[in-house]
Structure 1
Amino acid sequence: MSHPIIIIGSGLAAYNLAREFRKSDQTTPLTIIAEDSADFYSKPMLSNALAGKKTPASLVIKAASKMAEELSAAILPYTEVVGIDSNHQQVLLIDGQALVYRDLILALGADQIYLPLGGNAGDDVISVNSLQDYAEFAAKLPELKTVGILGAGLIGCEFANDLLALGIKPLVFDPAGWPLSRLLPEAAGRYLAAQLTTAGAEFHFGFSAKNYDHMEGRYLLGLNDGSIIEVGMLLSAAGLQPRTHLAASAGLKVNRGIVVDQTLQTSQPHIYALGDCAEVMGLNLPFVMPIMHCARALAATLAGTPTPVKYPAMPVVVKTPACPTIVAPPAIGAQGEWQVSEIEGGIDARFVDAKGQLLGFALLGAASKEKQALTGQLPPVLS
């Protein structure tokens, strides 16, 4: 029997790759290693689970045992990988075992970024980046009236909208001037903020958090202007940091993420990466659609047909029902300008170049119905 393909990770990238691979190859041994329970759930759904009254148990789509059966795979839950020996094609486990691989796939995901805060309550800052995190987060909410959120990016806005379903007021802090500032032009961002504010959210733009203290049963957040605001809890939504430590310690090339070529191979043969941890041809896109395209391409490569991944235009649907928002940001460094139109019940923003070619868009509210028509006009993200 040949050595197995080993996948480190058990998120959307790992399990979708395994499923796609099994469509073409039912016999090559497959091993999946996870630090957690390895139960299959959709991490992107954590940021809108409250409105759906989802418990941690109900978010689990399939238990690890069921996934092992369906994939004809050996799944090792609660198992820590401490090293990779690329010369001998081995994965090194914390218990001293060395597992030999035919090919190794890193689907390690990303960690929430924690901003450095002064004060005595830094360890009480919450992030929701796993099912266990969600369980701890949800358990604290019933007694709260407010939740502070650090960051008005995609995750921060989604959690803000979700908290409103429980009657909890989100207080969102961001040094930028409007939400989703890296994805939306100012007019569109301010429209989104206005809609979420009408729904019950409270935004504090142009401010950064400096201190977080617990005093006499109260949590106090100190801002850079010297003001202090009481919050029931503080949630960090300041962005994601790809998990690159394991790859770097094995001598693989890393930048923002684990650097891979268009076939998703790292700087070492027989080692690949995909998902939130990977930087594909300079692109680190922590969204569902890039993961799906990578899973299909890499599965074909592992099954014997080398296949470069290609990204079509992939608009991102922001989970903010109070203001439906769809974003297809222009490529970094793209030359052009935003053309913003206010329509009844929404904002239609289009990023065009000097020749009038559509390079990106942001559709809010009633304008979101234009998604399909505009997506067909966009150039591919990676061809």
Structure 2
Amino acid sequence: MSAPLTIIGSGMAGFGLARQLRNRDAERPITLITADGGDDYSKPLLSTGFAKRLSPERLVARPALQVAQDLNVTLRTHTFVDAIDTSSRSLQLGAETLAYDQLVLATGAAPTLPFTIPDELAERVMTVNDLDDYRRFHSSLAALQRPAKVVVVGTGLVGCEFADDLVAGGHSVSMVAPEEILLARLLPAELGRALGDAFLEAGIQLYCGTTVSFFWHEQGAVAVKLNGGDTLHADLVLVATGLRPRMTLAASAGLSVSPNGIVVDRYLETTVRGVFALGDVACVDGLNAMYVQPLQAGAKALAATLTGSPTLVNYGPWPIMVKTSLLPIVSLPPVESAVRWRTEGSGRDLAAFAESDDGQLQGFALTGDCVRRKVRLARLAPPLLG
């Protein structure tokens, strides 16, 4: 029996690629290896579950066994890959050696932690990056049997979406971050302040321009000391301070990596023939786009390449729709940093345009009723990777 095409990772990238491959080839042997339980779920729904009172089980679209049957793949769950030997085209799984024909790394990204979490607070200071994380956080909230006090560390996309969701779910939320405005990487200052005002009106406490110094356990709660001198008390702390591509396995195998991910070309092939990378872990021509639409475009292009039709990946000008019910937001951040922002609108219905020196639209950000303009503006913006 010939070695299978092997995918490491069962997130949106891994499962998305498997689905695209099956659309083109129903019979090719595929092995999918994952460190988690292998259930199929939509990761974006993790930050909407508390408002909707969704249990972890309700977030599962298909359990692992059904996924394996539907996609006709060998799905190995709770399995860790210790090493890749590209010369022999094999993986080391503990004492087992597993051969592969072609290999796709869809290992995603892991949360970054700017501080050390004391062992005694491991069940109270958490990150939520996958369904297993959501299960733990959901269980901890449910165990309180009352609305919780939650400190969210980080005011980026994940932090803001979870803060919005937790408040809608009836919990009390405080946010801490070194940035002075919310969503600083996606919004110009005026729009970030508008979101901050909406959060404040909803009762979210904002501690911007400061960082966490340390944590400790105090009378059944978590005490969070800020470097500005304040001390917050919470039932739980959710850390949302960014993601870093999981590249250790690739680097150990001799693949070229950069701070932005595993280095791949426009065919998503790494510096070793027959080994590819997809999704949050991939740096395509110097660009790492950790969003759903680029991931889907990559899965479709790579499936074509792996089935005999080499296809360059293209990332269109896809806006990011931020899931903040308190203030609708759409953002298309400019690829180039040398832009000037022009804002129009009033109140919280704002449209900001990132323009080059010659007035060409490079990106935009919209809040409130202005989000309705996203489709028309996206047609005018340049692609992320064309």
- The TM-score with structure 1 as length reference comes to 0.97
Instruction: Give the superposition deviation at 1:332.
Output: 3.8
Residues 1:45 and 2:45 aligned together: yes
CA distance in 2, matches of 1:46, 1:52: 11
In the TM superposition, what are the counterparts of 1:69-218 in structure 2 within 5 Å? 69-94=69-94, 96-117=95-116, 123=122, 124-142=124-142, 143=144, 144-218=147-221
Unpaired stretches in structure 2, ≥5 consecutive residues: none
Question: Matched residues in 2 for 1:324 and 1:228: separation?
Answer: 31
1:148-297 map, 5 Å:
148-256=151-259, 257-297=261-301
> RMSD of aligned C-alpha atoms?
1.4
Q: Is 2:52–2:169's contact at 8 Å kept on the other side of the alignment?
A: no
Greater displacement, 208-217 / 117-126: 117-126
Q: Secondary structure at the match of 1:376?
A: helix
**Does residue 359 of structure 2 align to residue 356 of structure 1?**
yes
The letter for the 1-side match of 2:131 is L
| Cα displacement (A) at 1:119 | 6.6
Alpha-carbon separation, structure 2, partners of 1:341 and 1:201: 27
Identical amino acids, percent of aligned pairs? 39
Deviations 1:122-166 (A, max 9, x none): 534111112111111112224343100110000000000000122
2:58 aligns with 58
Alpha carbons of structure 1 residues 225 and 118: separation in structure 2 relative to 1, 3 Å: farther
Asked if structure 2 preserves the Cα contact closer than 8 Å seen for 1:121 and 1:212, the reply is no
User: Secondary structure, in 3 states, of the residue corresponding to 2:380?
Assistant: coil
Q: Following the alignment from structure 1 to structure 2, what is the Cα–Cα distance between the partners of residues 209 and 117?
A: 10
The residue type paired with residue 50 of structure 2 is L
Partners of 2:53 and 2:169 within 8 A in 1: no
Following superposition, the deviation at residue 2 of structure 1 comes to: 3.0
SS in structure 1 of the partner of residue 128 of structure 2: coil
1:346/1:367 contact within 8 Å kept: yes
Q: Is 1:340 aligned with 2:339?
A: no
SS of 2:372's equivalent? Answer: helix
Does the 8 Å CA contact 2:332/2:365 hold for their aligned counterparts?
A: yes
Query: 1:119·1:212 contact (CA, 8 Å) conserved in 2?
Result: yes
Q: Could you tell me which amino acid in structure 2 is paired with residue 64 of structure 1?
A: A
Amino acid of the structure 2 residue aligned with 1:85: D
Distance in 1, Cα, partners of 2:176 & 2:322: 19
Give the 4+ runs in structure 1 shifted more than 2 A: 117-124, 142-145, 342-345
Assess, with a 3 A threshold, how the Cα gap between structure 1 residues 157 and 12 changes in structure 2: closer, same or farther: same
Distance, in Å, in 1 between the alignment partners of 2:66 and 2:119 is 44
The worse-fitting range, judged by mean Cα deviation, of 209-218 and 111-120 is 111-120
Residues 117 and 125 of structure 2 are in contact (CA less than 8 Å); yes or no, is this contact kept in structure 1? Answer: no
**May I ask how many residue pairs the two structures share in their alignment?**
381
Indicate the SS of the match to 1:38: coil
Describe the shift of the 1:359–1:84 C-alpha distance in structure 2 as closer, same or farther (beyond 3 A). same
| In structure 1, distance between residues paired with 2:309 and 2:281 | 24
